[in-house]
Amino acid sequence: MPSRFALPDFPWDALEPAKARAAEHPDGIVDLSVGTPVDPTPELVRRALTDASDAHGYPQTHGTPALREAVAGWFERRRGVPGLDPAGVLPTVGSKELVAWLPLLLGLGPGDQVAIPSVAYPTYDVGARLARAEPVVVDLAGDLPQAGGIRLLWVNSPSNPTGAVHDVDTLARVVRWARERGVVVASDECYAELVWDEDALVDGLPRPGHVPSILDPRVSGGSTEGLLACYSLSKQSNLAGYRAALVAGDPRIVRRLLEIRKHAGMIVPWPVQEAMRVALGDDAHVAEQRARYAERRAALLPALQGAGLQVDHSEAGLYLWSTRDEDCWSTVDALAQDGILVAPGAFYGAAGARHVRIALTASDERIEAAVRRLSR
């Protein structure tokens, strides 16, 4: 008998018919349904990986001290978070595994609740279910629950799929609420550098603090107590195939995660640790990648609007959260007729059922093809 904690059906299978239809277009499919990077991994990062290819010994689960220092340096330089304790830094095998396992690693189980956004990256819900805890929707900008069994709260800013960004006041209020109740706040921030407001940029990247981290002292009061920030290099450095990510924050919590991950052999390979260390020290390739996506967005956004779609939020991150004020599957089908594949918003929660998520992760040539088709 399926339990209420059963994993959901893998939703992407439901998109296959639309994908087949889009693939029939004479000029080929433009697949904007998934957020997988299409541009090359930067040369300096590839070099760091190959330079570390003699990896005969076991790597450190905690990450090398040099990598953890690089993470702390990156938080200070890029996110406006000074003085992060490297003891509270841990590399992860991409962010997805951490998101999926965090409730379990924190010791959550039946009777506990995990708070997730109403429209969200599906793995927050999956992670709660893997621990046999209960996922509950909490709107961070609304009334925060006064009672209940919430032990972990997920923040995702900039959001996948909506591209909305939480401001300092909203996050600070969430942190106060969580600390009063002993709730751990985990903030998934992997789109923080992919900001589209040109006025917010300095040397091609957003001003540190423009997208506030949960560890930003204006949010945290200068203490990491009860807080974790998750960050992935998949998107900003085209490293999705390396599985390169990290969690940083409260050293007490990180120590617990580390202890279990050591027992379970959940280790980032040393060549990838080296690639991460080098990638985190170089801002130029991130600025270059941000600019590529900005150009694609500048071409696609007006074409979508011209074709009758309204684009909501989408101020940061890799997606245009779009609606024709109809059921998302009708929009998916209509765009598939033009050979353009997008993701139905219903994949991200019932509240997304009238939107589609349109990714910027396609080559310039494919984005131009989409723009031509939308403009006819």
Ligand X SMILES: Cc1ncc(COP(=O)(O)O)c(C=O)c1O
Binding site for ligand X (CB under 6 A): 35, 94-96, 99, 121, 156, 160, 188, 190, 232, 234, 240, 245
Rg over CA atoms, the chain: 20
CB of 203 to ligand X, least distance (A): 25
Please check whether residue 321 is in contact with residue 345, taking contact to mean a CB–CB distance below 8 angstroms: yes
CB of 102 to ligand X, least distance (A): 11
Could you tell me the two tokens for 329? 């599957």
Which lies closer to ligand X via its Cβ, residue 239 or residue 253?
239
Which lies closer to ligand X via its Cβ, residue 94 or residue 226?
94
Which lies closer to ligand X via its Cβ, residue 268 or residue 332?
268
Which lies closer to ligand X via its Cβ, residue 156 or residue 374?
156
Which lies closer to ligand X via its Cβ, residue 34 or residue 298?
34
Which lies closer to ligand X via its Cβ, residue 234 or residue 273?
234
CA dihedral of 139, 143, 148, 149, whole degrees rounded to 10: 40
CB of 98 to ligand X, least distance (A): 8
CA–CA dist 106, 131 (Å, integer): 9
Which lies closer to ligand X via its Cβ, residue 247 or residue 311?
247
How far does Cα 197 stand from its chain's mean position? 19
Burial degree of 139 (CB within 10 A; 0-12, 13-18, 19+)? exposed
CB of 2 to ligand X, least distance (A): 26
Q: Interior CA angle at 176 toward 175 and 178, to 5°? A: 65
Q: Give the start-end residues of each E strand in the chain.
A: 30-31, 89-92, 113-116, 134-137, 150-156, 184-188, 201-202, 205-206, 227-232, 245-249, 310-312, 319-323, 340-341, 343-344, 356-359
CA–CA dist 303, 19 (Å, integer): 21
Which lies closer to ligand X via its Cβ, residue 120 or residue 258?
120
CB of 24 to ligand X, least distance (A): 28
CA–CA dist 363, 272 (Å, integer): 26
CB of 70 to ligand X, least distance (A): 17
Largest CA distance in the chain: 59
CB of 101 to ligand X, least distance (A): 12
CB of 230 to ligand X, least distance (A): 7
CA–CA dist 174, 140 (Å, integer): 7
CB of 116 to ligand X, least distance (A): 11
Which lies closer to ligand X via its Cβ, residue 29 or residue 359?
359
Please check whether residue 68 is in contact with residue 86, taking contact to mean a CB–CB distance below 8 angstroms: yes
CB of 35 to ligand X, least distance (A): 5
Contact partners, residue 43, CB within 8 Å, separation at least 6: none
Residue burial 27-50, b: 16+ Cβ < 10 Å; e: rest: eebbbbbebebeeebbeebeebbe
Which lies closer to ligand X via its Cβ, residue 113 or residue 234?
234
| Edge-to-edge strand ranges of the sheet holding 343-344 | 310-312, 319-323, 356-359, 343-344
